[in-house]
Structure 1
Amino acid sequence: MRNWGARVHEIRLQGLRAVVLENELLRVTILADKGTDVVEFNAKREDLDFVWWTADGLRGAPADFFDGYEGGWQEVLPNGGPPVEHRGARFDQHGEVAGLPWDYAIVEDTEEVVSVRFSVRARRVPLHVVKTMTLRSGAAALSIVEEATNESPVPIDAMWGHHLTFGRPFAGPGCEVRLPDGLDVHAHDGAVNPSGVRRLSGDPAAVDWSVLPEPGTPSELLYLTGFGEVGQYDVVDPQRALGLRVRWDATTMPWLWFWQEFGAHRDYPWYGRNYNIGLEPFSSYPSNGLPDAVANGTALVIEPHGTVRNWLEATVVVQDGDWKPMTR
């Protein structure tokens, strides 16, 4: 046991196995029993949690995604979007690894660095996922290195992504989304129009998406691409001079889904209670599910006994002239 420098603790949260990675600046809580959901990303000096929670919060790990969706950050594989059927397998919303318990092992535990390796085998496709999450002393940054291996002699189609969401207590009206220039922006055309959702008829430039609006603003779902080899965005609060920077391997996940829900959606599952955005690195688009990604050629194809790799970093940033990583 150690309560200084980098450290790791094994706990239970509402009956679920969880792992806490912590250092002088940051505390990150990961649910091993529920998809490795990140349910805390707390900048300790400011006592500010970047994780957004739904109105219902954590309610165990039910089979249905929305029934158990607490907010936070999910690993999505092999389906992104609503329930679908593909090659005889039925997948839930964002199914299936987000709803499974993962094994884990502490692989490094020193004052300088703590590192935990999580692993899971999907049940409806022969995919084995291994990811290592690391926190270093003196840095407000979580790093992830991961791989998905096809354990079969046939190619496997997949959508792979990270479902990161932001809302209270961090993100609200006036917060900014900072993205590289020159990205291609695609509107979510062709989807069924739920109540309160704005559609842009192919003209996403008509709205300034960089500043979060007032509650009650109709929402939209956009897809951004053109990052090159490394994707990056910042979500920042100019009033606090604080934000979060996310970087990832854009050769594996070339798309960024920009989900917005500002309280205008009055029906299931939100009922007007949510104010949040999602900025989600993904291998594929749109969010209509795996069959559509296969049809448009953006689905991952993991070759027989092949492996696809990804990395991702989430770093607290502060405004000191420019936006820079937080340090001691």
Structure 2
Amino acid sequence: MQFLSRAGGCRISDAWTYLGMKMLVIENTELRVVVAVDKGSDIVSFRHQPTGTEFMWESPIGLRNPARYVPTVSAPEGPFHDLYEGGWQELLPGAGGFTPQNYGGSLIGLHGEVALLPWQCAIELDTPDEVRARLSVETYRSPFRIDKRLTLRKGESKLIIDETVTNLGDEDAQFMWGHHPVFGQPFLGPDCVIDVPAVRVITPITADGSPFQPASRLPSNREFVWPNAETIGGGTADLSRVPHPDGRTSDLAYLTGLREGWAAITNQATGVGFGLAFDPSVFRYIWLWQPYGGAWGSPWFGRVYACGIEPHSSYPVQGLSEAIRNGSALKLGPRQALQARMVATAFRGQGVQRISPDGDVTTK
């Protein structure tokens, strides 16, 4: 257990609790990051210190301790939505899956296992120039372990995330792996622009060809050239621009054909943005979740104005069984491991031309 004992440089502490859950705080003069260790290792706060900009969306449900939560009745898709506070989740071995997914004879719920489990945390490095924490978890119903190291260096606005997924089993194991960062107000608004090096937009497939959601702008089962997509009404939607919440729309799209592994969202009014660099050989798709005020019914009831820009290994939102069917699921042999690095950064500018694999941002 460490305390934030320094007045300057980098600081790290896992001595904090909230609602009975262990929390990890990592900060320097540029960033302050808060991790809910006991709830999926979710990043519940990612704040740019010089401007006081909080990027992460906070859901109307709020952060709840899974150990203290008793549902009125078990939901068919599992408890993810009951415990979804917003912020940034890690998803494995499934992503999506609104009906239970069969995994070797066990059932996996919405967005897999690791976002609902308590993780282990150890502080590996604590100096004024650099701090690092190691987090790890083993799944219950599938044979995986994730080891994740979070590193922050003095004077840098970059959180480095180094991860290893290991198949602990003695047979092949297929899975989806995703990151689910979602951005909200006051950072998010109509002045925000999304930059990604994508080529195509694919809209979700529905069995009867109906829109994915009642308030969808986009038709289902279609493919477009990024960033423009034809709307249901015959118009054009520029998906790189965040619409006003009064539009009351809600969509999901998959961005594919990534030329490089990065994505960014910038508020052009404040000149502050958030960027991600990731390995495009692992995270080959970006799920663009767009609940811009039109997510009706449970659990949102129209209360959500947010934007998720989510690097994923696979698609679709129907879950692992469909990802296996379309060939996008990942597979590890017995005792094999897969490593990946992701860098999350805050920056100032009016948009992004490129983010290097090390997280260096070239602004417009």
Report the TM-score, using the length of structure 2 for normalisation: 0.85
Q: Which residue in 2 is equivalent to 1:53?
A: 58
Q: Which residue in 2 is equivalent to 1:25?
A: 30
Kindly report which structure 2 residues correspond to 1:1-328, keeping only aligned pairs within 5 A, or say none.
Answer: 1-10=5-14, 11-61=16-66, 62=69, 64-81=79-96, 82=98, 83-180=100-197, 183-190=199-206, 193-201=212-220, 202-204=222-224, 205-206=229-230, 207-215=237-245, 216-228=247-259, 230-319=260-349, 325=361
Q: CA RMSD in A?
A: 1.8
Q: Hey, what's the Cα distance between the residues in 1 that align with 2:257 and 2:351?
A: 27
- Report the 3-state secondary structure (helix = DSSP H, G, I; strand = E; otherwise coil) of the residue aligned with 2:111: coil
Per the TM alignment, residue 242 of structure 1 is displaced from its structure 2 partner at its CA by: 0.6
Q: Hey, what's the Cα distance between the residues in 2 that align with 1:321 and 1:49?
A: 18
- Report the 3-state secondary structure (helix = DSSP H, G, I; strand = E; otherwise coil) of the residue aligned with 2:35: strand
Provide, for residues 86-121 of structure 1, a one-character-per-residue CA deviation record: whole Å limited to 9, x for no partner.
321211111201000001111111000000000011
Q: Hey, what's the Cα distance between the residues in 2 that align with 1:13 and 1:4?
A: 24
Given that 1:195 and 1:267 are in contact with CA atoms closer than 8 Å, whether structure 2 keeps it comes out as no
Q: Hey, what's the Cα distance between the residues in 1 that align with 2:136 and 2:328?
A: 25
Q: Hey, what's the Cα distance between the residues in 1 that align with 2:347 and 2:161?
A: 18
Given that 1:197 and 1:265 are in contact with CA atoms closer than 8 Å, whether structure 2 keeps it comes out as no
Given that 1:318 and 1:325 are in contact with CA atoms closer than 8 Å, whether structure 2 keeps it comes out as no
Given that 2:10 and 2:128 are in contact with CA atoms closer than 8 Å, whether structure 1 keeps it comes out as yes
Distance 1:72 1:320, change over 3 A: closer
Given that 2:193 and 2:351 are in contact with CA atoms closer than 8 Å, whether structure 1 keeps it comes out as no
Q: Hey, what's the Cα distance between the residues in 2 that align with 1:203 and 1:308?
A: 30
- Report the 3-state secondary structure (helix = DSSP H, G, I; strand = E; otherwise coil) of the residue aligned with 2:238: coil
Given that 1:140 and 1:325 are in contact with CA atoms closer than 8 Å, whether structure 2 keeps it comes out as no
Distance 1:308 1:222, change over 3 A: same
- Report the 3-state secondary structure (helix = DSSP H, G, I; strand = E; otherwise coil) of the residue aligned with 1:219: strand
Per the TM alignment, residue 198 of structure 1 is displaced from its structure 2 partner at its CA by: 3.1
Per the TM alignment, residue 2 of structure 1 is displaced from its structure 2 partner at its CA by: 1.5
Counterpart of 2:82 in structure 1: which amino acid? D
Counterpart of 1:58 in structure 2: which amino acid? L
Given that 2:94 and 2:176 are in contact with CA atoms closer than 8 Å, whether structure 1 keeps it comes out as yes
Q: Find runs of 4+ consecutive structure 1 residues off by over 3 angstroms.
A: 191-194, 320-326
Counterpart of 1:254 in structure 2: which amino acid? R
Given that 1:126 and 1:150 are in contact with CA atoms closer than 8 Å, whether structure 2 keeps it comes out as yes
Counterpart of 2:305 in structure 1: which amino acid? Y
Q: Hey, what's the Cα distance between the residues in 1 that align with 2:153 and 2:106?
A: 40
Q: Hey, what's the Cα distance between the residues in 2 that align with 1:218 and 1:271?
A: 13
Q: Hey, what's the Cα distance between the residues in 2 that align with 1:220 and 1:35?
A: 26
Counterpart of 1:231 in structure 2: which amino acid? G
Per the TM alignment, residue 325 of structure 1 is displaced from its structure 2 partner at its CA by: 4.9
Provide, for residues 270-318 of structure 1, a one-character-per-residue CA deviation record: whole Å limited to 9, x for no partner.
1000000111101100111100000111001111110011111111111
Q: Hey, what's the Cα distance between the residues in 2 that align with 1:89 and 1:197?
A: 33
Bigger CA drift: 239-248 or 195-204?
A: 195-204
Q: Hey, what's the Cα distance between the residues in 2 that align with 1:296 and 1:244?
A: 31
Per the TM alignment, residue 199 of structure 1 is displaced from its structure 2 partner at its CA by: 3.3
- Report the 3-state secondary structure (helix = DSSP H, G, I; strand = E; otherwise coil) of the residue aligned with 2:265: strand
- Report the 3-state secondary structure (helix = DSSP H, G, I; strand = E; otherwise coil) of the residue aligned with 1:67: helix
Counterpart of 2:262 in structure 1: which amino acid? Q
Distance 1:244 1:105, change over 3 A: same
Per the TM alignment, residue 84 of structure 1 is displaced from its structure 2 partner at its CA by: 2.0
Q: Hey, what's the Cα distance between the residues in 1 that align with 2:256 and 2:349?
A: 26
Per the TM alignment, residue 194 of structure 1 is displaced from its structure 2 partner at its CA by: 3.4
In structure 2, stretches of 5+ residues that fail to align are 70-77, 231-236, 354-359
Q: Hey, what's the Cα distance between the residues in 1 that align with 2:85 and 2:160?
A: 22
In structure 1, stretches of 5+ residues that fail to align are none
Report the TM-score, using the length of structure 1 for normalisation: 0.94
Sequence identity percentage: 38
Q: Hey, what's the Cα distance between the residues in 2 that align with 1:217 and 1:189?
A: 22
Q: Hey, what's the Cα distance between the residues in 2 that align with 1:31 and 1:49?
A: 16
